[in-house]
Chains A and B, each alone.
Chain A
Amino acid sequence: MMVKMMENNFTRKLYQVPYLLWIVLFVIAPIGLVLYYSFLDIEGHFSFENYGKFFTPVYLKMTLSSFWYAFLITAISLVIAYPTALLLTKTKHKQLWLLLIIVPSWINLLLKAYAFLGIFGTYGIANSFLQVIGIGRQQLLFTDFSFVFVSVYIFIPFMILPIFNSLSELNPTLIDAAHDLGASKWTVFRRVIFPLTINGVKSGTQVTFIPALSLFMLTRLIAGNRVITLGTAIEQQFLVTQDWGMGSTIAVFLIVIMVLIMLVTNTRERGV
C-alpha cells in the first residue's frame, strides 16, 4: 500500500515536469528577459532612461490611440458577434454554420491582409461596386475605416466562438420559465440570456481586445502606417533601431496593461 502511494506520488510529480518546464522556459524566462532588457539603455548600460522616455507625449499618445482602436475593434466585433451567435444557436445545422465562420481563421493573416490590399485598392472590387451604385471611387485603403474593418473581420470568429459556447450551454427551460412568468422577449434577453452568457462575452472580449492592442502588420499593410500602435513601435525598436531596451520597455507596459484587463474581465465564475 505504502509503496503504491509513493509510486503514485512519484508519477504525479513526473507528469508535472513537462508543464513546469514549459512554464519556466516559455513563460517565466521570456518575461524575465523582457524585464531585464527594459532596464538597459541603447548602449547596454543599466538605466531608467527607457521608462522616462515612455512617459513622453509621443508614447502616451501612442498608448491612447492603441487603446482607442482596440476598443473600437472589440466593440464592433461584439455588436456583430452576439446576434450572430444567437442566430447560430437557433439554426438547424449549427455545426456547419459554425464551421463556415471558423474556416477563414485558418487562413494566414498576412494572406488575408494582402487580399484586402486588392479588394480595397483604387481599382479594386469594392471601388468598382461603389462606382456601379453611383457613389464613385473613394479612398478605402490606408484609412481608419479599412483598418478597423479588416481587424474586425479577422477577430470576429474569436468573438463568436465563446459566446456561441455559453449560449448553447444555457438551459432552455430557464427561458421558457421566464416567458411563462410573463416576461417580454426583450426582458428575457436583458434579464436572463445576457447575464447568463456574460462569461462568453468576457472571454470573447479578452481574446479580441488583447491581441488588437498589439496589432502590427495590419497597421502597415492596411493602414499604411497612418495608425501607430504599441505593437508597431515594438517591431520598429527591435528590427529597425535595434534598441532592444526601449522595445522591451514598451512590451513591459503592454504586459501590465494586459494583466490588468485580464483581472477586470476575469471575475471568478460563481456556481449556478
Chain B
Amino acid sequence: MNKILRFFLIIVVSSGILLYAISSLNTSQGYSGGNTLTVYNWGDYIDEDLIAQFEKETGIKVIYETFDSNEAMMTKIQQGGTNYDVAVPSEYTIEKMIQANLLIPLDHSKLPNLKNIDQRFMDLSFDPKNKYSVPYFWGTVGIVYNRKLLPDKEITSWNDLWNPDLKNQILLIDGAREVMGMGLNSLGYSLNDTNKKHLAEAKEKLDLLTPNVKAIVGDEIKMLMANEEASIGLVWSGDASEIMSENEDLDYVVPKEGSNLWFDNMVIPKTAKNVEGAHQFINFMLNAKVAAKNTDYVGYSTPNKQALKYLDEEVVNDERFYPSPELTKKLEVYENLGKRNLSLYNELFLQFKMHPK
C-alpha cells in the first residue's frame, strides 16, 4: 500500500510542477488572460503572415487551431472545455449552431469593414441580417473535367454528363445533397425542392446516369481526379482549385442550369473569452487589402467586393470561380429542409447507390 501511495504522490507532485511550468511559459510568451485570441479554422485556410500582422497591429496574441470537419468543430464547441473566440463553420452548420444556441450575436458597430462585403452574399437564409456570421469565403458545386482525356467534349451543363460516350468516366462526391441536387438541377428544379414527385423524378434521372458513374467517393476524389483515374468529377469549387493546381489538364465549370452556392463564415462561439478581440479580428479579416492577400494565398473565391480591386485581373475575371451575375442568380444556398426531408434525400441517395449498373 505504501508503495502505491508513494507512487500517487509522485504523480501529483510532478503534475503540479508541469502545470506551473506551462503557465509560466505561457506568461512569458504573452499567452495570458485577456491578451490572447483563439481562432478555430479549417486546416491551411489562412495566410499565416496575416496573423502576425494582426498581432503587431493590435498587440493581441493569436492561438491558431484547426479542424477538418464541421461536425467535429461543432461537437468540440458543444462539449465545452474550449475557449475558441472565432470559428469558421460552413453555412448549414451555422444554422444548426444558431438553433443549438452556440453563437454570440455580432455587434455590427464594431465591424465597420462589413461594408466591403458584396451585398449578394449578405442577409442569406441561413443567417438573416447576418446577425451571427459574416462571409469568409464562398464557392460553388460543379464539374471538374480533364481536357486531355476528353479532347473534343465541351462540358457546360449537368445534362452533358448523361452522354452515353462517358461510360464509366464519372466520379461523384459522396454527399446526398450534392448528388440529389445535381439530379434536381438537371431537371430544372430547385436543389431545395421537397416535392416528393420531383424528388422521385430526380432519383429516376440519376439512375439513368449509373452506367457513367465509376464510383461515389469521399475526399479521395481529389487524389483520384489528379491521378486521372476518371475524366469527370462532381466536386466543390474549393477542392477543384486545389486539384487543378496539381494537374494542369483539369478544368472546372459551374453548370449552366444552376448549382449550389456555399459559404464558410466567421462566427463567435458561446465559448469565447475575448469577444472584443474576436470583433477586432473579424473586422481585420474584412479589410479589403487583408482579404485580397488571404484570397491570393487560399485560392477560394472572396465575398469581399473591395478586395477584388487588389487581386489579379485574371483571377477576378475567371468565370469558373467568380461566375457571371446571370449564373450567380441561378445558384442556391442549401436550406435546412428539416430532418424528415433530409432523411428522404438520403434514402433516395442510398437507393441510387444501390441501383445496379
Q: Does B71 contact A (CB under 8 A)?
A: yes
Q: Which of B215, B218, B229, B346 contacts A226 (CB 8 A)?
A: B215
Q: Which of B107-115, B250-258, B348-356 contacts A (4 or more CB under 8 A)?
A: B348-356
A43 to B340, CA, bound (A): 8
A237 to B342, CA, bound (A): 11
Q: Which of B176, B218, B224, B343 contacts A220 (CB 8 A)?
A: B218
Q: Which of A117-125, A196-204, A252-260 contacts B (4 or more CB under 8 A)?
A: A117-125
Nearest-CB distance from B354 to chain A (Å)?
5
Contact A58 B176 (CB under 8 A): no
Contact B354 A220 (CB under 8 A): no
Q: Which residues of the partner chain B approach A224 to less than 8 Å between Cβ atoms?
A: 171, 214-217
Q: Which residues of the partner chain B approach A242 to less than 8 Å between Cβ atoms?
A: 339, 342
Q: Which of A61, A121, A237 contacts B229 (CB 8 A)?
A: A121
Q: Which residues of the partner chain B approach A58 to less than 8 Å between Cβ atoms?
A: 347, 350-351, 354
Q: Does A141 contact B (CB under 8 A)?
A: yes
Q: Does A218 contact B (CB under 8 A)?
A: no
Given A58-B351, A141-B229, A228-B354, also A240-B216 (CB < 8 A): no
Nearest-CB distance from B269 to chain A (Å)?
21
Contact with A along B325-357 (1 / 0, CB 8 A): 000000000000001101100110011011001
Q: Does A239 contact B (CB under 8 A)?
A: yes
Q: Does B157 contact A (CB under 8 A)?
A: no
Q: Which residues of the partner chain A approach B351 to less than 8 Å between Cβ atoms?
A: 58
Contact A239 B71 (CB under 8 A): yes
A221 to B350, CA, bound (A): 16
Contact A228 B71 (CB under 8 A): no
A43 to B343, CA, bound (A): 11
Q: Does B174 contact A (CB under 8 A)?
A: yes
A258 to B163, CA, bound (A): 44
Q: Report the contact-size class of chain A (Cβ under 8 Å from the partner).
A: 20 to 34
Q: Which residues of the partner chain B approach A61 to less than 8 Å between Cβ atoms?
A: 354
Given A58-B354, A117-B220, A236-B350, also A122-B343 (CB < 8 A): no
Q: Does A241 contact B (CB under 8 A)?
A: yes
Q: Does B227 contact A (CB under 8 A)?
A: yes
Q: Which residues of the partner chain B approach A223 to less than 8 Å between Cβ atoms?
A: 215
Q: Does B168 contact A (CB under 8 A)?
A: yes
Q: Which of A223-262 contact B (CB under 8 A)?
A: 223-226, 228, 233, 236-237, 239-243, 246
Q: List 25 A-B contacts (CB under 8 A).
A: A42-B339, A43-B339, A58-B347, A62-B354, A121-B224, A122-B227, A139-B168, A139-B214, A220-B217, A221-B217, A223-B215, A224-B171, A224-B214, A224-B215, A225-B174, A225-B216, A225-B353, A226-B353, A228-B354, A236-B346, A237-B346, A240-B346, A241-B346, A243-B339, A246-B343
Excluding A117-B223, A224-B171, A241-B343, 17 further A-B contacts by CB distance (< 8 Å) are: A42-B343, A58-B347, A58-B350, A123-B228, A139-B214, A141-B229, A142-B214, A220-B217, A220-B218, A224-B217, A225-B174, A225-B216, A226-B215, A226-B216, A241-B342, A241-B346, A246-B343
Chain B residues close to A by CB (< 8 Å): 71, 168, 171, 174, 176, 214-218, 220, 223-224, 227-229, 339-340, 342-343, 346-347, 350-351, 353-354, 357
Give me the 4 closest cross-chain CB pairs, A-B, nearest first.
Answer: A224-B215, A225-B216, A142-B215, A241-B346
